[in-house]
Structure 1
C-alpha cells in the first residue's frame, strides 16, 4: 500500500499535538495575566487589588474555570501520553529539558493552589492581595520562595515551547527581540512587585484580617478543620500526580520487559544493524544505535530530512498516518520512501537514509540548530549586463573589476533601499529576494521599485563613464513572484539564506527573455497583479517556459516607463 492511497483513521498525531499546544497556550495566557497582576504592585497595593478583581472575574467565572482547568487536565494527560510513547530516552537536550521542567511544575504549583484558592474556598472567605502576600512573604517565606521557583520553571517551560513553535515562522526573527524582552521583563517585574509590597507590609502592623468574610467568621476549631481539609486536598493532588507518573513509568517498564523478547532488526547501508523492540521508530533506532540521522524538525514529521528508502520489508510496513502522509505527498515521495521519525516497522527492514549525514560540521545531526527551510511566496529579481564580453574586451583586468564593482554597488544599494535581500552575484549577474519579512504584495512592489532604480542609476553611470566606455552599459532584468523554498543552504562557512524552486527558475528565464526581446525589464503577470500596478500602457506577451504546460503572460517595461515604479 502506497502513501498516496492510504487514508488515516482515528485522531491523528497532528490533532493531538495541536490540542497539546492549545492547552499549553491557555495556561501560558493565565500565567501572563497572573504575572502582570503581580507587577501592578510596583504601582500600589490598591492597583494590584483592582487588577485582581479583573483577574478573578475572567478566570474564576464558570467559562474561565472550565477553560483553565480543562486545559490543565488535557495538557497533563497528553504530556503523560507523550512520555509513555517515547520508546527511548535518548533525545536532544531541548526535548529532555522540556520534559524535566514539565514534570517539576506540578510539584511546585500544587502547594500554591492549595495555599491560596483551595484554602480560602474551603474557609469560606475571599482573600485580598494583602492577605496573600502576607501569607507568602511574612507568615511562610519558604512557601514564597517555593512559588518564586515555580514561577521561573513555569514561565521558562512555556517560553521554550513558544520559541520552538514559532521559530520557523517568517516573521519570527523580526519579532523575537521584542518577545524576548517581554519574556524577561514580565517575571522580573512580577517578582519585584511581590517583593516590594512584601517589604512594605512587613514594616507595618496588621490592619486587617486575611480577607473580608462572606459568611460569619468561622470559629477557631472550624478554621483548624478547614486547614486539615486543605492538607487533605493537597496530598490528594500530590498522590494523583505521583500515581499517574508512576503508572506511566510502570507501563513503560512493563512494555520494555515484554519487548525484550519481541525485537526487530533495522539494517543500514553501512552494514550496521540495530536491534530494537517492535514499535520503535526508525529514527529512534538510529539514535539508540548511535547512527547519525538528520531530523531537523525534531522528529515531529514536519520536515522530510529524516526520510529513508525502505529496501527490504516494504510489504509488511504499517500504512502512514496523516502527519507522515501529508509530508510524503508534499514532496512527491516515491513508493518505499518513508519518514524515519514516523515509521514504526512491525518486522525486520533494511533502510537507506536519503539525506546522508556528512562531516561538514555545520548541521549537527539530529539537532534543530539550522533553518530547515520553509515555503513562502516571494518576489525574485534577476539582473544581468548585456553583451558583457563585448563591453570588456580590450580592457585591463583592473578596469573590469572597477566597472563590475560600480555595477554591483548600484544593484546592491537599489535592492537594500527597496527592502529586499541581495542573494548572490553570479558573474555579472545578480539575484535578489523580496518579501521575506512581509507580504507578497509588498515584496512585488519593492522588486519593481528596485528594478526601476537600477535602470535609472545605470543611466547615471553611463553618463559618468561616457568617455571611458565603447558602448553604454545596458542591463536586462527579470522579475517573477510565487512560492519558493527559503532556507540556509551551502557548505561550511559559505552557508547563506537563499531560495530555490520553480519561481527562481522562471525569474532567471525572464531575465534571459529580456535580453532576447531587447527590453529593459520583463515582469510576470502574477508579479504585476500582486503589486497592483497599471498595465494598460504596457506591452504583454505569452511565452513558453520550460517545464510548464501553460504559457506565462509577461509584461515588457521599457526604459521610459520605469519611472512609475520608483
Structure 2
C-alpha cells in the first residue's frame, strides 16, 4: 500500500512537470510563468514533505522488494519496470540536486530559465540525461499505474480506451515543448545582457558553490550505487542461506513434484522450477489468478493476512483456496492450480467464483409450456418465435427480479437457479415468489394475446431444493454458469409430473423445508423419479398461495412465507390459470 501510494504521488509530480514543459511550445515566457506556479505548489511545506516521503518510500520499498525476492523469474514487463525504476535516480540526479537540493542547501534560485540554460548551454549530455530521465520516469509510472488500476471498474469503463493515447501524447508534447524552449534560450544566451541578468538572478555569489554541489552529487551517486550493490549482496546471501534451510515438497495435482527450500511462496516455487502458473499482477496479491486449492498438507498453513483475505473474500473463495503468491508452506503440500497458466488481464476480469466448480445448496426451477408443439403446427415460423420470445421475456424478468438466474432456455421452456449468491431459505422463498408471479404474468400475457391464440397458454413449473454442482461449463461462446446433479434431474421430473397431477406447480418437500413452511403431511404425494430408489414427497398446487390454506385449516402456526406479487388474486383463481 505504501509503495502504491508513494508511486501515485510521484506520478502526479511527473505529470505536473510534463504538463508545464508542454507550454514551451507557446513561448519561453509562458513556460517560465507556469513553472513558477508549479514550483510554488510543490514548494508548499506540507506538499514538499509529502513529495520527499514519496520519493524515499518508493525507492526504499522497491529495493527491499527486490532484496526479498526468492528468485528473479519475472516477466519482461517487470524487468523493464524494475530497470527503469533503478535508472531514474541516476538519470535525474543532476537535475534534482541542481534544482531543489541546490536551492535548499546553497540558496540557489532554480527558475525555469536556470534549468534551460544549465541543460542546453552547459553541456549537451545534460539534454540527453534529462530527456532520458523524464521518459524513464513516465514509462515506469505508466506501467505501475496500469498494474494498479487495470482491475478497477473505472479503468475498464472509461480510462482504458484513452489511456494509451494519453500515455503517448503527453510525453511527446512535453519533450517538444522542452526542446522548443531550449532552442529559444540558446538564442537568448548569445546576448551578454541576458546572461548577466541570468547570473544575477541565480543568486550564486561564491564560486566554490559549484564545486561543493558537484562533490555532493558524486557522494549521492556512491550512496545510490551502494544501495543497489547491497541488494545484490543480500540476494546472494539469502540464496546461500536457503540452500541450508529445510527442504519441502510441493506436489501439483496436475503437474510435477518440486523440492524447494522452506520459506518461499508456492508461486515462487513454480517460477523457480519452471512450472506454468498464472500471475497477472506479478505476485502482488491483487488479481487472484495464481490461486490454488490445497488438497493435502503435512503441516497446517498459516492463516491469510488482511490483504490476501480481502482478495479471497472478493472472489468468495472457500477455506482451502489460497493465493499462491502469499502461501508459504511450512511442510510438504499438495495443491491444484485453479486457472490456466495463460490467463490474461482480460480473461481474469471475467473469472467468477464458480469457474472451477463448487457444491452449493440451491433451488432449481424447470418451466415448460403445455402442448406448445401442437399449437405451433398451424402457425408461421415468425409467430412461433414471437410467442416464445414474449413468454421468455415475461418469465425471465420475473426470475431476475427475484434474484434468480436463467440457466438456459430449452425451446418452449427454461431452467432457472435460485441461491447462487444467497442462502438456502431466501433462495427457496424467492423461487416460490417467482412461481406465483410467473403464473400471474402468464395470465396477463394470455389477455394480451387473446386475439392471437385459439386457447390460452398453459405451463408447468417444477421446484426442488438440494445440492448441485455449480461451475462454468461448455466451450467458447457457449461456456457459462450452469448446475448439474441429481437435484437438477428431480426438478425436471417434477415439472413433467404437473401433467400427471393436473396442476401448474409441483414442489418437493425439500423446498417446503428450506422455505420453513408448515404444510400437513396429508397434503403430500409421492412420485417415483428415475435414478432414485426412494420416492420423492411432493406438493401439487396451482399457486404457491394454495400452500397456506391447508396450514390454516390444520391450525398450524403461521410463519413468514414467501411474498407473492399476485396477492390480490382470489384463493381459488389458480384453477383458471392452469
TM-score normalised to structure 2 length: 0.64
Aligned to 2:162: 178
Aligned to 1:391: 372
How many angstroms apart in 2 are the aligned matches of 1:216 and 1:107?
27
How many angstroms apart in 2 are the aligned matches of 1:461 and 1:160?
60
SS of match in other structure, 1:208: helix
Counterpart among 194, 209, 215 of residue 208 in structure 1: 194
Rg larger for: 2
In the alignment, structure 2 segments of 5+ residues that lack a partner are 354-364, 398-404, 417-436, 461-470, 489-494, 496-503, 507-543, 549-558, 568-578
Output the aligned Cα RMSD.
4.7
Map Cα deviations across residues 336-389 of structure 1 (whole Å, 9 max, x no partner): 654322122344x0312152x5xxxxx44475452245899xxxxxxx998645
How many angstroms apart in 2 are the aligned matches of 1:402 and 1:287?
59
Q: For residues 398 and 283 of structure 1, do their structure 2 counterparts lie closer, same or farther at Cα, with a shift above 3 Å needed?
A: farther
How many angstroms apart in 2 are the aligned matches of 1:430 and 1:192?
62
Q: For residues 389 and 216 of structure 1, do their structure 2 counterparts lie closer, same or farther at Cα, with a shift above 3 Å needed?
A: closer
Aligned to 2:220: 237
Counterpart among 67, 71, 81 of residue 84 in structure 1: 67
In the alignment, structure 1 segments of 5+ residues that lack a partner are 1-17, 358-362, 377-383, 416-421, 432-450, 477-487, 506-511, 518-539, 545-549, 559-566
Aligned to 2:565: 556
How many angstroms apart in 1 are the aligned matches of 2:41 and 2:299?
54
Greater CA drift, 295-304 or 79-88: 295-304
Aligned to 2:294: 309
Matched, 1:351 2:337: no
SS of match in other structure, 1:342: coil
How many angstroms apart in 2 are the aligned matches of 1:389 and 1:397?
16
How many angstroms apart in 1 are the aligned matches of 2:15 and 2:378?
63
Greater CA drift, 112-121 or 186-195: 112-121
Deviation at 1:84, TM superposition (A): 1.3
SS of match in other structure, 2:92: helix
How many angstroms apart in 1 are the aligned matches of 2:370 and 2:40?
76
How many angstroms apart in 1 are the aligned matches of 2:409 and 2:344?
32
Matched, 1:125 2:108: yes
Matched, 1:340 2:349: no
Give runs of aligned pairs for residues 481-560 of structure 1, distance below 5 A. 493-494=476-477, 554=563, 556=565
Matched, 1:108 2:91: yes
SS of match in other structure, 1:106: helix
SS of match in other structure, 2:194: coil
Give runs of aligned pairs for residues 243-258 of structure 1, distance below 5 A. 243-258=226-241
Query: How many residues of Structure 1 are paired with residues of Structure 2 in the alignment?
Result: 445
Deviation at 1:459, TM superposition (A): 7.6
CA contact (8 A) 2:242 2:261 kept: yes
How many angstroms apart in 2 are the aligned matches of 1:226 and 1:374?
60
SS of match in other structure, 1:267: strand
Deviation at 1:121, TM superposition (A): 5.3
Q: For residues 332 and 163 of structure 1, do their structure 2 counterparts lie closer, same or farther at Cα, with a shift above 3 Å needed?
A: closer
How many angstroms apart in 2 are the aligned matches of 1:196 and 1:475?
77
